[in-house]
Structure 1
């Protein structure tokens, strides 16, 4: 059953309140709640004790009673004392924005690594809030989804039992386990790097269509349709980074990763926890920032993505900005703006092919055409070239197989001794 809540925010100077409250309502919906009422107060600065002014707190209390709603969701990260005071004065259970996002992440985490990351972030958030009902709610919310080990062992404890020392010990244990998993992930990335395949990472605001884009490309160029990633029209549908190998008709190959989505003011606890998850983006040869062009606030979403990437240290990779959901926005697609931007629909095959061509132009710049003469007793080299390069022509000569092909610089150097030098005029 969907819980009804009141959502509230402060309109501070130079703030787009429309966008902020729409985003908060979407986050509430993602947490299986419904925003029954929206309350906004205009102030120059937050009230130090209760965040909202005293009159607005009384109004929130009366509103909750009149519509029989018991939970208030606030569009800011509140201090522990603000939560306590606001709950006392309004007689409502208070969840701040950070707590809400942590609840969503706790419910959505599927892999062991994601669960560990979320649990660490949640415990760091709870540490100074042990006396608030909000922390107790977070604890109960994740009790059934926390997984095994330390994550599960303390998830149902009451706020009185979870003192700072035991929480810190759990954080230390979880960090140790996460470090081991991060090392394992780094080894996997190193093995992928050794293949010499370029890597492309899909990044962007949550629910912009990254997973839909990835699934479309996997259907066209992937090894198997069984390797689709989870996609759903909601915020934070997936928290895990997925990596798939794509093989194009000209035998060029790359690794494509789908990363966790961003949202404005993503809690610093989660940014720190998910730094290892975003390592795929940090080491990518190319970033494709997927943007929901049908959303009126898409420019703010681009800014949020760029700021978050900078915060996690992803600053050097070249980027394509891919304006998705053009079919919903009722704009012309697919269209190109130079070689840096594309307007497309992830559900349209022609769009995906055009996006693919843009990606290939960016990451396969070192490819060249060459002619090799491979001795007949080196058939394995012929097999390799046929499987891993774009063979344009094959002839059989007296001394071996002559192959004209397009290939990477690494393969060019690898088979350089079989190169047929061009005849000088």
Structure 2
């Protein structure tokens, strides 16, 4: 049984929506960030990065207080408005290649604690605590947790019907994405949607494990205050088949003291190694890996997929885990995938020419391309309380910051 609620959201004034919302802060280069902050006074970047010229010189506490003050300024200036009643939203994102449609709602911290909302990624304690402190100081969140639900003819039909009505927003971004938002405020729709989700036994976090963990930590810290908004966190609910899962590819700074010839020989214990020379080769199936080394591409075909399946080790059938177990750890000496400075990650959404370029520049020596996981692997791991290796998946859609605000 999954509990969802409507909430009294804060959102941009309709005439400023295209100016206010922004991508995730970390997606901007320093030059882009400076340009947006200098030339767009309505950008939500001003809220999440106040006093940006001196942001590296102030403490987290002062920075969070600055965020809270700037957010209040945006509200007082009429850049943001608040809904008069609690509502749901239907949100659609059209990219060049895909359309994503989902429901913005509040999801239950209690469901998260009871594993009704299931997880598949580990979290870093310092990041959870830092974002908890951010929520405590700012008293708002605009980054929903991406949560999947089982595909449903009833929900799809309902969504199609709602999308025939007049949206409250329809705007296009500089990245050529079209964003459309519909408000769901009739009691009959709200009741129907809540009742439908009450019959779904489990929901699955696709993206946002740190945000959900921070919401739980804040609830446990401040629940004595009796604030009902702490009992929920904002989520973007989307059908399992509607998420797009990319891999994270790996680039490594050195061969851990091995010569190229010795390294290729060591790989042959686990893989059939086929040189592809200048062909931009990437995996087409599970248990296949691409590699770029010394100006050439290679195809690596794992020799023991049937053995992994026969042993029924769910985690060890993941390509990211196989690469770690056979190459990254025993040969290249990388133990901590999160913190080792010798490894970095490139989202599979980027062309493999990016990997070639980075390695050719000389700071990295070898790169590995993986085949993306699918939603069934993620769900199976979550159902067995297993955790994916760090940076196993890069998942879309990505939500616009400043589009919808959940106040705490």
TM interval, shorter chain, is under 0.3
Q: Please state which structure has a larger fraction of its residues in helix.
A: 1
Structure with greater Cα Rg: 1
TM-score by length of 1: 0.25
Q: Please state which structure has a larger fraction of its residues in strand.
A: 2
Larger RCO (CA under 8 A, 6+ residues apart)? 2
